Structures are given as structure tokens and as C-alpha cells.
Amino acid sequence: MNPLWFVLALLAYFGVLIALSFYRRRADSGTDYFLGGRTMPAWMLAMAFAASWYGGNSALISIDAANEQGMGSWWVLGGPTVIAVVALIFIGPIIRRIGVLSQDGVMNMRYGRLTGTLLSLVMGIYMVVWGASQMVALGKFFAAFFGINFVLAVLIGIVVAIFYATIGGFRAVVLTETIQFGLLLLGLLITLVGALILSGGFEPVMERATTERPDDYFNLFAGFTPNIAFVVSFALAFLIEGAAWQRMQAGRTPRDARKTASYALSYFIPLYFLVVAAGIASIGVFPTVPENGVVATLAGERFWPIFGVLVFIGIAAAIMSTICTTLNLSSLYMTELYTKIKRNRVSDKQKVRVGMIGTLIASVLGFLIAIRLPEALILLGLASEILAAGMFFPMILGLFWRRANQKGAVAGIIAGSGFTIYGFLVELGLPLPYFWPNDGPTRIFIGLGLSLIFYVAVSLMTKPDPERSDRFMHQSRKGTDESAEQIVRDHDAADDAAYEARNGRNGTGTGVTGTSGPGASAAGTTASGTDPGRD
């Protein structure tokens, strides 16, 4: 097919995205920029949720895997996603009721400032690596259609993503993701029907499956054990990753948070079975997965131009959707870190500017990782291991276990994430020593084990903080946005007083203002709803 078709379609699509980025123009506050002012309806948040998690990378990986593994390939991404979303239906209202802007704020409220800082660091790394996996998928997809260099293909996609993600913030991301979700669904339906027609119908597909595929090709549970590392790392990471919590926190009420997760589940289940069906249908066309993948080969070489273009835009839209989500969230965590390092009051306007700069930094880092390790599934797995191993137990058990404290959380994060980040550096090719099998199952289970042991042991061996724990538990069950703000102010005042007493000074140069009343504290909160002047 003439590449001009795809170039024109891509230009038209990018034009729509850029126009949407100017919808209601710029975000004026941190809540507007990062959570859309908490005005988005649950159904739209759920579609954005599905579009960001179910990236084009997911579709490409799932269809190729289904061609080879059959129904069991559902466990590579479908199973972990469904497990995580079911869990979010139950804990989504808790997340929303906590009432603060980001996961950094949640950890600040539950444990203390240091834990929130570590979370921002780990989450920022996770988002950058996750974004890099999508950049790899986008680069290979564009390169297959346009016949251009992989690096150039990645750069083209990143430039447009940066432009509209920085201009509109979360609202622009949600609006574009809603449209992208519809385009993805249309593209996948065309892929399924087209593959089935080109295969000659159901009978040729069944014949080839019987003669050329394993006996358990249509057994859903056959893929569970071979894909156990993906099931564990993806399910745990998806449950706590920033895009999911951002959607929960962006709901108007705790009930809307549950609705968002429920709607998302109703989208995810058919979506993942749809791509598995498309992959199975393609075996009548491709005895083995072609070099450029099933979808790119079908759309670029086998479909009529109009259908090929629709499939191309649907997949490209989904990949762009996920890239923009990772950029938006990476900038959020960088903003958290900046306001703490700066140690002075940061206005809402400054937060938005810092968020835009953070988006650019995340793009550059993701690009460098993508060209260093251009394997999308490997990068996605590594990102999930880093997040799940370090953050799962401090974040999820912290919602229910009162005895846990900041020292235990810090120890668990450092032990789990530290181990998996070390393994990630080994995977990138750094000449670091290691004595364990540096594969996915080994890394995730050792990392999780280390995190749990250190989290529980250090919490039990050190002094608890019952006042902070009890107040957090009450807020997460019965609190309001207003009570969350009061808790943040009280913790700010206590931490500022402790810093002043410990250092014997206040005022200029220390970030401690000498005042801690509600008015002073509220005037200078970070993106997490916490005072940047605290230690």
C-alpha cells in the first residue's frame, strides 16, 4: 500500500489532537492540570483508563502472542489487567476518599514526607520506562509503514505527544484518550474480521490450529504457568501504578471512583478477548508471526487502503494515548520532587510550568532508554518489576495495617525497588556483578520477598506512630476533601516544628517560615497537597 495514505491519515489525526489540546486552553492550577479539576464523568475517566492501560503496544503484543500461543496468551496482559481492575473496584473509593492530589500525598499522609519522596522517585522511573516501551512499539509500527529509520519514527511520535500533553495537562489527555479508545476499538474489529476473511473462515483456522499448533491452543489456562512472571509483576504493578490512581482520584466522589473501575472492567474483558481472537484468526494467513508483526503486515499489505488506514490510526492512537499518560504522570512525580528540593513556596502557576518541563525531561529519558533496549515487552516487564517489588506492600498493606510505620515503608521500598533497579541496569548492559538468574520470575519474586520482609520486620522493630496511622485510616474510610486538607496542614505544622527544633534555626534559607497556621500552609502546597518547606 502507498505510504502516502498513512502519512495523510497521520497528519489529519495529529491535527485533531492538537486542536483538542486547546480545549478550554491552559490548566490554571495543579488540580486542573493533573486531575482535570475533578470534573470528568466516570464513564469518560474509564475510557481514558482503558485507553492508557490498553495501549497499542498491548494490542500488538497480544495479537502476536495469540497467533503463537492461542487462548493461553490472554495471561500475558489480559489476566493481570482484569485482576488489578477487580481489586480497584474495592479500593478505588478508599483512594478517592483520601482526598490528596497524588500518590505522593497519600504516602505523606500515611507514613511521612520521606516515604512520599521515595514513591515519587520510584514512580517517576516506572513511568519513564513504561513510556519507553510504548516508544519502542510506536517506532517499530511507524517504521514498518513508512519505511523510515526506527529512531526517526520514535521522534515523530514523541514531538506531537509532548506538544499536546504539555499544553492541556490531564484534561487534554482524557479528551484525546476518549477518542483514541474508540479508534482503537474500530481498528481491532477490522483486524479481527479482516484476518478471518483472509484466512477463509472458521474452518481453515481450526484446521491449521489442529495441525500446526499445540494441543492446548484453545485452553485458556494453559498460558498461566508459562506467563507467571507477567501475571504477578503486571497485576501488582497495574494495581498501584499512577495512571490507575490518578483516574480514581480524578472522580467527583468515592462512588464515582468505583464506577470508573467498574466501567473500565467492562471495557477490558471484551478488549483482551478481542485481540486474542484476532491473533487466532490470523493463523490462516500467517503460519508464523511475520517480521513486522501481524497487525502491521495485515494493514500495510493485505487490507484495502481504507481499512488499512483505519487499523493504522487505531493502533497509533492507542500507543500515543499511553505515551501521553506516561508523560503526564512522569511530570507529576517530577513536580513533587522539585517542590521538596526547592524548599520554598511554589504557586499553582509554577507547578504547571514545572510539570511542562518535567514532560520534556521524561520524553528525553524515555527516548534514550527506547533506543538502548528496543524490546517493548521486556521494557514493560522491567518497569512493572521495579514498581511492584518496591511499592506494592507499603502502598496496599498501608491502607489496612495500622502498625506499619515510615521506617518500615522506607526499608521495604529500598530493598524491593533497589534490587529490581539493579537488575534493570544489568539488563541494559552495565557491567555489574550478580549471582542470581537475572530473569523476570527470579527478579520479581526476590524483589517482592525482600520488600515484604523489610517492611514488616522494620515496622515491628521500630516505634509505631498510632496517631498518624489512626487519622489516615479514618480519612480513608470516612474522610472528605476538606478533612484531607486539614490533615495535610497539621502534618505540615508538626514536621516544620520538628525540623526547626532539630536544626535550631528557621526562616530564610531553610524553607521553614516560622508560621504554621492554616492560611500559611495552604498558600504553599505542593502537587501532593504538602508543604514544600518541610524536611
- How many other C-beta atoms are found inside a 10 Å radius of the C-beta of residue 52? 28
For the chain, what is the mean pLDDT? 81
C-alpha cell at 333: 512525580
**How many whole angstroms separate alpha carbon 166 and alpha carbon 289?**
37
Compare 187 and 162 and report the one with higher pLDDT: 187
Residue 282 has pLDDT above 90, yes or no: yes
Cβ neighbourhood burial of 385 (10 Å; 0-12, 13-18, 19+): buried
CA angle centred on 197, ends 191 and 199, rounded to 5°: 95
Using pLDDT thresholds of 50, 70 and 90, give the confidence band for residue 320: confident
Phi then psi for residue 121, to 5 deg, are -65, -50
pLDDT of 527 higher than 70: no
Candidates 414, 494, 479; CA nearest to 108 is 494
Position 190 pLDDT exceeds 50 = yes
Residue type at 298?
L
Task: Specify the pLDDT at position 272.
Answer: 92
Domains and CATH numbers, the chain: 42-381 (1.20.1730.10)
453-512 pLDDT tens trace: 999 999 999 999 999 999 999 998 887 767 777 887 787 777 777 767 776 654 444 443
| Burial profile 123-162: b = 16 or more Cβ within 10 angstroms, e = fewer | bbbbbbbbbbbbbbbbbbbbbbbbeeebeebbbbbbebbb
**pLDDT score of 360:** 86
Q: Are 201 and 352 in contact (CB under 8 A)?
A: no
- Percent of the chain scoring above 70 in pLDDT: 83
Q: Yes or no: say if 176 and 321 are a contact pair by the CB < 8 Å rule.
A: yes
Q: What one-letter code names the amino acid at 83?
A: I
Most confident of 101-105, 174-178, 361-365, 482-486: 361-365
How far is it, in rounded angstroms, from Cα 70 to Cα 205? 11
Return the pLDDT at 325.
76
Residue type, 273: F
The full DSSP string for 394-444 is HHHGGGT-TT--HHHHHHHHHHHHHHHHHHHHHHTT------S--SHHHHH
pTM as predicted: 0.79
Average pLDDT over residues 96-108: 82
Non-local CB neighbours of 318 within 8 Å, separated by 6+ positions = 51, 54, 55, 56, 57, 58, 59, 180, 181, 183, 184
pLDDT-based confidence at residue 323 (cuts at 50, 70, 90): confident
Greater confidence, 74 or 15?
Answer: 74
- Dihedral (C-alpha) 361, 366, 372, 375: value to the nearest 10 degrees? 180
Report, as an integer, the average pLDDT of 48-69: 84
Q: Are 367 and 158 in contact (CB under 8 A)?
A: yes
DSSP characters over 125-151: HHHHHHHHHHHHHHHHHHHHHH---HH
